[in-house]
Amino acid sequence: MAAFGLAGSALADSTSSRASPCWSKGGTFDIVECFSKVGAQSDVELNSLYGKITRVLGPEDLRQLQNSERLWVAYRDATCKAEKSLWNGGTGGNPAYLACVDDETRHRLDYLQTTYRLRLQKLEL
């Protein structure tokens, strides 16, 4: 954590609570490894939810969701690249990028769960 100083502490407060413990893992390698694992799990959860949603949508709603997902991925990537650039090539850039990707993925999960809640209830019947 010392390598990140106050900036690392501030970033830890701005990332998802699930990923925040990664900032205290030690050196950059350990932090990147932690965020990689957390991010991979978030991605698995998002893909699983997306698959469930696609099974309950009609063709037009499915097209709208697919378009929304493409735009969201572009937004997520641009947002996280911008956050990474704030580190000016420093060692905190990669962990910040990975934390951002995880955080945005968690937000997307929440959004999709809320938005498609009623449709997903059909799977439970």
CA atoms of 111 and 65, how far apart (whole Å): 12
Q: What value, to the nearest 5°, has the Cα angle with vertex 11 and ends 92 and 45? A: 90
The domain that holds 114 is classified in CATH as: 1.20.1270.180
Of 83, 74, 95, 81, the closest CA to residue 25 belongs to 95
What is the pTM assigned to this prediction?
Answer: 0.79
How many separate domains does the chain show? 1
Higher-scoring residue by pLDDT: 122, 45: 45
Q: How far apart are CA 42 and CA 110, in angstroms?
A: 11
Q: In this structure, what DSSP letter does residue 16 have?
A: -
Q: pLDDT tens digits for 7-61?
A: 443 443 444 545 578 888 888 899 999 999 999 999 999 999 999 999 999 999 9
24, 25, 19: which is closest to 42 by C-alpha? 19
**Measured between alpha carbons, how far is 59 from 38 in angstroms, rounded to an integer?**
33
- Grade residue 70 by pLDDT with cuts at 50, 70 and 90: very high
Instruction: Tell me if 19 sits within 8 A of 38, measured CB to CB.
Output: yes
| Residue-range definition of the domain harbouring residue 23 | 5-124
